[in-house]
């Protein structure tokens, strides 16, 4: 993947974050999502690449932009597969809650699992605990193994879990072990990635969340030597048919990191929209705004945090309506 694309992709998530940040706390998650999608799609048109959306806003008949199979860029080399979530945490933005991000992952062609829009049971850790988790093992065994790898007491381990009725038993068992829990209402990509970022305060992410979001997080964790395992969690026959249509024959397969992302030629970018453990949110001031973006490159293992100041008085060539 061209090294020069690094900043181009960072600009894409920045644009989506800036657009959706205008809707923080305004109670309209659809407007916030639409703004992020439009901004992200506009920036893709400026990039020299032959990209194909493999994880996006839905099928062609479900989404006008960033739909699965849509071609992005100007058609020039390199050929890339693209996974996007222009606004991960629509409810978080609508309610002004922490943790919303604009996120994308890019690989060489056929580098990402084409995950159907359904649930996935997941477990994720950073580099120090890689090789110490097993989705099929008892909760307590995973907690003990991760604590040992991190040289921590169980009481000092912090686990992120989505606050859902389906997780009540999981939450109860983690609490009984003595571990600390950080419950989140939405958006499990950022916490999964945060497992691999020193100083984030998060050690482990467990539970059932979105399948496409699992692939996005796996791309980031592969960049830095972390680990994720997953298993699709269909709710009905329609989910199973959707997975089969994407070429997934064994719906019950334990998906290792190589199954989710099978290449090191990865680029990952995420920009904070609202404040979170991984990224600061967009802040507006008199003449513009400030964004906080994480960019990773798998081939080199490089992790960059970029703080950008955007001056709205100086409109860029590709200005986004409602942002600049």
Handedness of CA 116, 197, 201, 307 (dihedral sign): negative
Question: Any idea of the CA torsion for 255, 267, 161, 135, to the nearest 10 degrees?
Answer: 20
166 appears as a binding residue in the annotation: yes
Tell me the two tokens of residue 41: 């799609």
Establish whether 272 is an annotated binding residue.
no
Q: Is 90 marked within a binding site?
A: yes
Binding site annotation covers 88? yes
Q: What is the torsional sign of CA 286, 287, 288, 292? A: negative
Is 186 annotated for ligand binding? Answer: yes
SS3 151: coil
Is 187 annotated as belonging to a binding site? yes
Question: Does the annotation list 165 as a binding residue?
Answer: yes
d(CA 215, CA 254): 14
Whether 25 has a binding-site annotation, put simply, is no
283 known ligand binder: no
Q: Is 33 annotated as a binding residue?
A: yes
Return left, alpha or beta for 223; rule: phi > 0 is left, psi -120 to 50 is alpha, else beta. Answer: alpha
Task: Collect all residues with Cβ–Cβ distance below 8 Å to 99 and sequence separation of at least 6.
Answer: 89, 92, 184, 186, 187, 190, 191, 274, 275, 276, 277
Please indicate if the annotation marks 119 as binding a ligand: yes
Quote the CA–CA distance of 276 and 234 in Å, as a whole number. 29
Parallel, antiparallel or unpaired: strands 204-210 and 158-162: parallel
Annotated ligand binding at 307? The verdict is: no
- What token pair was written down for 137? 């093992």
Binding-site positions for Mn(2+):
33, 57, 85, 88, 213
Binding-site positions:
33, 57, 85, 88-90, 119, 164-166, 186-188, 210, 213
Binding-site positions for substrate:
88-90, 119, 164-166, 186-188, 210
């Amino acid at each position: 993947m061209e090294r020069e694309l690094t900043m181009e992709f960072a600009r894409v998530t920045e644009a989506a974050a800036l657009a959706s940040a205008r809707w923080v706390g305004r109670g309209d998650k659809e407007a916030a999502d639409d703004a992020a999608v439009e901004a992200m799609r506009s920036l893709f048109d400026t990039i020299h690449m032959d990209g194909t959306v493999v994880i996006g806003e839905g099928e062609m008949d479900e989404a006008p932009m960033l739909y699965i199979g849509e071609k992005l860029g100007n058609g020039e080399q390199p050929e890339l597969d693209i996974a996007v979530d222009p606004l991960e945490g629509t409810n978080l933005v609508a309610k002004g809650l922490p943790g919303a991000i604009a996120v994308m992952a890019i690989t060489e062609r056929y580098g990402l699992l084409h995950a159907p829009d359904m649930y996935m049971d997941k477990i994720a850790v950073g580099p120090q605990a890689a090789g110490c988790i097993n989705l099929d093992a008892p909760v307590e065994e995973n907690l003990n193994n991760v604590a040992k790898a991190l040289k921590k007491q169980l009481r000092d381990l912090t686990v992120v879990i989505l606050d859902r009725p389906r997780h009540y038993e999981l939450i109860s068992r983690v609490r009984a072990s003595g571990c600390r829990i950080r419950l989140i209402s939405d958006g499990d990509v950022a916490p999964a990635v945060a497992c691999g970022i020193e100083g984030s305060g998060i050690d482990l992410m467990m539970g059932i969340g979105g399948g496409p979001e699992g692939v996005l997080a796996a791309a980031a964790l592969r960049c830095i030597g972390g680990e994720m395992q997953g298993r699709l969690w269909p709710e009905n026959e329609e989910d199973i048919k959707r997975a089969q249509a994407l070429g997934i024959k064994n719906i019950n397969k334990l998906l290792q990191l190589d199954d989710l992302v099978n290449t090191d030629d990865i680029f990952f970018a995420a920009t904070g929209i609202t404040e979170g453990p991984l990224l600061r949110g967009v802040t507006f001031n008199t003449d513009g705004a400030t964004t906080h973006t994480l960019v990773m490159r798998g081939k080199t293992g490089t992790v960059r945090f970029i703080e950008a100041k955007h001056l709205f008085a100086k409109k860029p060539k590709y200005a986004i309506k409602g942002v600049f």
